[in-house]
């Protein structure tokens, strides 16, 4: 178990942004003999075996076990993005001796958790190479900025009346001293990317918690890290796909990693976009199947939509439905919602529970309180977009959307075992 959590920690540390996450996943897949297919251009025989295609923060991969054109697929999907602070296009700010970087909040971040943390800058830079635009990953690796909270002496009521933050005013990080000058951030990005400053055209760059993942608890039973939502599921799904790769594998297992879940998924590489179905169509075409064959295969397929769930909070158990309080260390949860905020149907739930049981993994059930609005995830979008039976599954965590979240170390192992069974099951 200890080794499992360490592998997850290494993946999270190497993946400060969706672009990094898919780059790390691509390297792991290439290492295991998966063929990388071009985003543009026609796919041929090489799409028949274990292969993948990567575009920005999204990646689709399969294990090469498909036998016929109408074979049903076992799909496992997760999202690569996490809430955080994104740097604005004209970011050079500051006053009164402080250098600052103008940011915008990405997704439903718990704002207070971003205060007084060492922040690491990472993302991708669009570089003009002379005859085109090239995307270069950048990462400060260590902390370079911080959003300073007002001292208690200057905000006397904060503990009694609650912390109120205006994202336009209170979340701008400091990252140095002096007078701001236009081009400060651009030249910093150029130095990280190791390119001339004049070639930096634009960027998708943000701040994440710089603190490395860590084991906690008196016996190391807890694991704290940024971006557990949803890199925990991304990592487990990736390992499960790699594990399923074998000529004897009975299942056509497909891994789907998508970006922009935290902002609604309606983007070129999000779950609500056309990208994933385009990839499946191109794959089917390369494998000699018709579009009708693909539609038949999809009609018989099942998708696990993997995203974290809410573990019961010991200080606020009343925030959870009393009959659906997820126990940390109790295994993955299947998420249900009568109004389809989760896509799970009885059949999908039964399929997943069957696989989990075969691996000796206990399964819990999640259902949100009726008087608190329920979140959602990529499940309903995959179900609708692909017309595929979908089950929403997730590991219980605490502090979802905080800059640093908390999970039971044993749940990491249970999720991986359940996914391995899912991807390898007949
Ligand atoms: Co999520």
pTM, to two decimals? 0.96
For residue 66, tell me if it sits in a domain: yes
The model's confidence at residue 384, banded by pLDDT at 50, 70 and 90, is confident
Cα 308 to averaged position of ligand 1 atoms, centre (Å): 6
The CA distance from 246 to 238, in Å, is 15
DSSP per residue, 30-42: HHTTPEEPPSSS-
The CA distance from 420 to 244, in Å, is 7
Cα 307 to averaged position of ligand 1 atoms, centre (Å): 5
Cα 229 to averaged position of ligand 1 atoms, centre (Å): 5
Give the per-residue pLDDT at 247.
54
**pLDDT > 80? residue 47:** yes
Cα 103 to averaged position of ligand 1 atoms, centre (Å): 22
Cα 277 to averaged position of ligand 1 atoms, centre (Å): 21
Instruction: Output the domain CATH number for residue 132.
Output: 2.30.250.10
Cα 416 to averaged position of ligand 1 atoms, centre (Å): 17
| Cβ partners under 8 Å of residue 92, min gap 6 | 101, 102, 180, 181, 182, 183, 184, 185
Q: Which of 176, 209, 242 is the last residue of a domain?
A: 209
Q: 94 and 69, same structural domain?
A: no
Q: 26 and 169, same structural domain?
A: no
DSSP per residue, 233-284: HHHHHHHHHHHH-STT--SEEEEEEEB-GGGTS-STTBTTSSHHHHHHHHHH
Contact 244, 63 (CB under 8 A): yes
Q: 161 and 21, same structural domain?
A: no
Q: 364 and 279, same structural domain?
A: yes
The CA distance from 362 to 355, in Å, is 10
Q: 249 and 186, same structural domain?
A: no
305's tokens: 């939509």
Give the range among 60-64, 248-252, 398-402 with minimum mean pLDDT: 248-252
Q: 319 and 186, same structural domain?
A: no
Distance of CA 372 to the CA centre of its chain: 24
Q: Which residues of 158-176 are buried (b: 16+ CB within 10 A; e: fewer)?
A: eeeeeeeeeeeebbbbbbe
Cα 351 to averaged position of ligand 1 atoms, centre (Å): 22
169's tokens: 């005013």
pLDDT digits (tens, 9 = 90+) for 304-346: 999 999 999 999 999 999 999 999 999 999 999 988 889 999 9
Tokens 């149907």, residue located: 345
Q: How much is the mean pLDDT over the chain?
A: 94
The CA distance from 22 to 25, in Å, is 5
Cα 203 to averaged position of ligand 1 atoms, centre (Å): 24
- Please tell me the total count of domains within the chain: 2
DSSP per residue, 125-149: EEEE-SSSEEEEEEEEEEEEEBBPP
* Orientation angle between helical segments 228-244 and 18-31, nearest 10 degrees: 20
Cα 280 to averaged position of ligand 1 atoms, centre (Å): 23
Cα 375 to averaged position of ligand 1 atoms, centre (Å): 9
Give the per-residue pLDDT at 275.
92
Give the per-residue pLDDT at 375.
81
Q: 376 and 299, same structural domain?
A: yes
Cα 21 to averaged position of ligand 1 atoms, centre (Å): 15
What value does the mean pLDDT take over residues 169-198?
97
For residue 214, tell me if it sits in a domain: no
Q: Which of 209, 234, 251 is the last residue of a domain?
A: 209
What value does the mean pLDDT take over residues 116-133?
96
Please state, for a pLDDT cut of 90, what percent of the chain lies above it. Answer: 85
Q: 135 and 78, same structural domain?
A: no
Instruction: Output the domain CATH number for residue 420.
Output: 3.40.630.10
Question: Which range of residues forms the domain containing residue 153?
Answer: 84-209
Cα 261 to averaged position of ligand 1 atoms, centre (Å): 7
Cα 291 to averaged position of ligand 1 atoms, centre (Å): 31
Give the per-residue pLDDT at 249.
64
The CA distance from 139 to 136, in Å, is 10
The CA distance from 422 to 298, in Å, is 17
CA angle, 124 as apex, 121 and 127 as ends, to 5°? 125
**pLDDT > 90? residue 225:** yes
For residue 155, tell me if it sits in a domain: yes
For residue 111, tell me if it sits in a domain: yes
For residue 217, tell me if it sits in a domain: no
The CA distance from 173 to 302, in Å, is 44
For residue 120, tell me if it sits in a domain: yes
Cα 384 to averaged position of ligand 1 atoms, centre (Å): 18
**Residue 41: which of 254, 257, 321, 286 has the closest Cα?**
286
Contact 233, 308 (CB under 8 A): yes
Q: Which of 209, 236, 261 is the last residue of a domain?
A: 209
Q: 114 and 46, same structural domain?
A: no
The CA distance from 152 to 229, in Å, is 31
Cα 233 to averaged position of ligand 1 atoms, centre (Å): 9
CB atoms within 10 A of CB 371: 6
For residue 9, tell me if it sits in a domain: yes
Q: 243 and 310, same structural domain?
A: yes
Q: 70 and 145, same structural domain?
A: no
Q: 353 and 317, same structural domain?
A: yes
Distance of CA 260 to the CA centre of its chain: 9
Cα 231 to averaged position of ligand 1 atoms, centre (Å): 9
For residue 220, tell me if it sits in a domain: no
């Amino acid at each position: 178990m200890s080794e499992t959590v360490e592998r997850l920690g290494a993946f999270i540390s190497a993946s400060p942004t969706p672009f990094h996450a898919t780059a790390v996943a691509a390297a792991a897949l290439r290492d295991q003999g998966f063929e990388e297919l071009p985003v543009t251009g026609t796919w041929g025989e090489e799409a028949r075996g274990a292969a993948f295609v990567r575009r920005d923060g999204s990646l689709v991969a399969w294990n090469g076990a498909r036998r016929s054109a109408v074979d049903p697929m076992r799909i496992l999907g997760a999202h690569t993005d996490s809430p955080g602070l994104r740097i604005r296009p004209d970011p050079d700010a500051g006053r009164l001796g402080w250098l600052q970087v103008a940011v915008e909040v990405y997704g439903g971040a718990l704002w207070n958790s971003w205060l007084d943390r060492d922040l690491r800058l990472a993302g991708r830079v669009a570089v003009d190479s002379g005859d085109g635009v090239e995307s270069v990953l950048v990462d400060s690796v260590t902390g370079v900025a911080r959003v300073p909270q007002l001292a208690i002496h200057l905000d006397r009521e904060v503990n009694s009346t609650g912390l109120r933050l205006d994202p336009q005013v209170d979340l701008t990080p400091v990252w140095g001293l002096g007078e701001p000058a236009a081009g400060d951030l651009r030249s910093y990005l150029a130095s990280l990317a190791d390119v001339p400053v004049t070639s930096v055209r634009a960027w998708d760059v943000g701040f994440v918690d710089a603190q490395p993942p860590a084991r906690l608890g008196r016996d190391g039973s807890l694991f704290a890290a940024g971006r557990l939502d949803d890199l925990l599921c991304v990592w487990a799904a990736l390992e499960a796909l790699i594990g399923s790769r074998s000529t004897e594998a009975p299942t056509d297992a497909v891994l789907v990693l998508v970006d922009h879940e935290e902002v609604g998924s309606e983007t070129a590489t999000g779950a609500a976009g056309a990208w994933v179905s385009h990839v499946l169509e191109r794959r089917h075409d390369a494998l000699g199947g018709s579009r009708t064959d693909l539609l038949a295969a999809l009609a018989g397929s099942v998708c696990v939509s993997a995203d974290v769930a809410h573990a019961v909070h010991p200080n606020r158990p009343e925030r959870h439905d009393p009959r659906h309080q997820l126990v940390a260390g109790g295994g993955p949860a299947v998420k249900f919602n009568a109004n389809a905020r989760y896509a799970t149907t009885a059949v999908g739930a039964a399929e997943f529970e069957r696989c989990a049981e075969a691996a000796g993994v206990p399964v819990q059930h999640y259902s949100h309180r009726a008087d608190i609005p329920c979140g959602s995830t990529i499940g309903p979008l995959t179900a609708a977009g692909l017309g595929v039976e979908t089950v929403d599954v997730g590991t219980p965590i605490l502090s979802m959307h905080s800059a640093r979240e908390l999970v039971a170390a044993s749940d990491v192992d249970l999720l991986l075992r359940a996914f391995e069974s899912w991807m390898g099951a007949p």
